[in-house]
Amino acid sequence: MKTRAALVWEQPGNWQVQEVDLDDPGPTEVLVEMVATGLCHSDDHFVTGDIHVGGLPLVGGHEGSGIVRKVGSEVHDIAEGDHIITSFIPACGKCRWCASGKQNLCDAGAIILQGDQPAGGFRMHADGRDVGTASALGTFAEWQVYDQTSVVKIDPTIPLDVACLVACGVQTGFGSATNAAEVRSGDVVLVIGIGGVGINAVQGAALSGAAHVIAVDLIEQKLDWARQFGATEGFTDIDEAVEFAKSVTNGQGADSAILTAGLVHNDLIGKAYWGIRKAGTVVITGVSPDAEDAPIPGFNAFNMAMFQKRIQGALYGMASPREAMPMLLREYQAGRLKLDELITHRYSLDEINQAYADMKAGKNIRGVVEFQKVAPVEQAAERELASVG
């Protein structure tokens, strides 16, 4: 079939929206009519070249939602008409990591920068060339083929334009606070970089009972947004934020610092490291350019050992997607987790370059591309009552 998608052909480059050819799904795959996709900063790294990919052209996007329209012969737990969200880490269910409840570290994740599918090969083609998919997904497309290991079925009563956000940004930030930093009641937490991930680190820290959630960003508007999600203080300068953290901890420093900036350079890690207390934790959630190898300023094994500090990486908030996604959506349904409020702007696929320009200008917490409007499916009981009436 023919469909439209946003491709990057060179690094650095721009998104090019064009018609492409899409194959039928293979035995372990599903064809999905897309409803929405979040615009994560990670995909912008493919455009800038901060993260190099295995092959070009590449269709971007990994934070998607849609409706299954066709299933392969070996797909047994997903049916036509099911509502799904995407998982940027395929979960094989068989490797050491999946078996130990750490699906976010699944060995199948090794392919997500290569561009091909978990079952091998490519399903999208343009101008006579195979098109790779970001994170084995490529959600910047009106229709797409996904492997069954890359999708999670959800409650059809949840709006798909909102549900797509938990595919990456929400849990990546939320879990950075709740799992990686292990924020507890009364803690003092630094969240450095308030975008689509950082705002959810703020939300996770606040819901965990932190006494001070200190947001740090260069843009005042983002600090205002952070306060709406639970930040107690906001600073545009990290040194001032660290001094404040020390002022409310008898000079000790924050219990944890979560790094969620669009690019986390090593000097930022160094500042965060010196901003936490003894036995505190620096969580690295954002990424650096993949070529960066400069040392962390002021860091050495002596102070690491003597202060018993911890530097913790966090992938998808250190949680299994198939456990975390339903949990977050239940929290949303219960009114405890803010999702609707995260969407600051909605765009068409043709506006994707403007959407990323807005993100860089600080106009977005999370922009969303809407492919179509789909009302949530009513619960079966409600439909039955209506038919009886």
57 prior amide bond cis, ω within 30: yes
pLDDT value at position 280? 97
pLDDT value at position 291? 74
Decide which of 212 and 388 is more confident.
Answer: 212
pLDDT bracket for residue 288 (50, 70, 90): confident
Q: Would you kindly state where each structural domain of the chain is located, as residue ranges?
A: 2-167+339-383, 173-315
Distance CA 273, CA 291 (A): 22
DSSP 141: B
Chain CA centroid to CA 218, Å: 21
Decide which of 55 and 388 is more confident.
Answer: 55
16 pLDDT more than 70: yes
Among candidate residues 224, 222, 187, the one with its CA nearest the CA of residue 206: 187
pLDDT tens across 202-236, in order? 999 999 999 999 999 999 999 999 999 999 999 99
pLDDT value at position 316? 94
pLDDT value at position 387? 43
pLDDT value at position 380? 40
Q: To which CATH superfamily is domain 2-167+339-383 assigned?
A: Medium-chain alcohol dehydrogenases, catalytic domain (3.90.180.10)
Percent residues over pLDDT 90 in the chain: 83
3-state SS, 78-115, equals CCCCCEEEECCCCCCCCCHHHHCCCHHHCHHHHHCCCC
Distance CA 77, CA 75 (A): 6
pLDDT tens across 104-158, in order? 999 999 888 888 999 999 999 999 999 999 999 999 999 999 999 999 999 999 9
Q: How many CB atoms lie within 10 A of CB 241?
A: 25
pLDDT value at position 111? 86
What is the pLDDT averaged over residues 284-306? 85
Among candidate residues 163, 137, 134, the one with its CA nearest the CA of residue 328: 163
Query: How does the average pLDDT of the chain come out, rounded?
Result: 93
Among candidate residues 87, 62, 89, the one with its CA nearest the CA of residue 196: 62
pLDDT bracket for residue 386 (50, 70, 90): very low
pLDDT tens across 166-197, in order? 999 999 999 999 999 999 999 999 999 999 99
Answer for the pair 38, 177: CB distance below 8 angstroms, yes or no: no
Q: Which of 86-100, 255-269, 372-386 has the lowest mean pLDDT?
A: 372-386
Whole-model pTM? 0.92
Q: Is 267 exposed, middle or buried (0-12, 13-18, 19+ CB in 10 A)?
A: middle
CATH topology of domain 173-315: Rossmann fold (3.40.50)
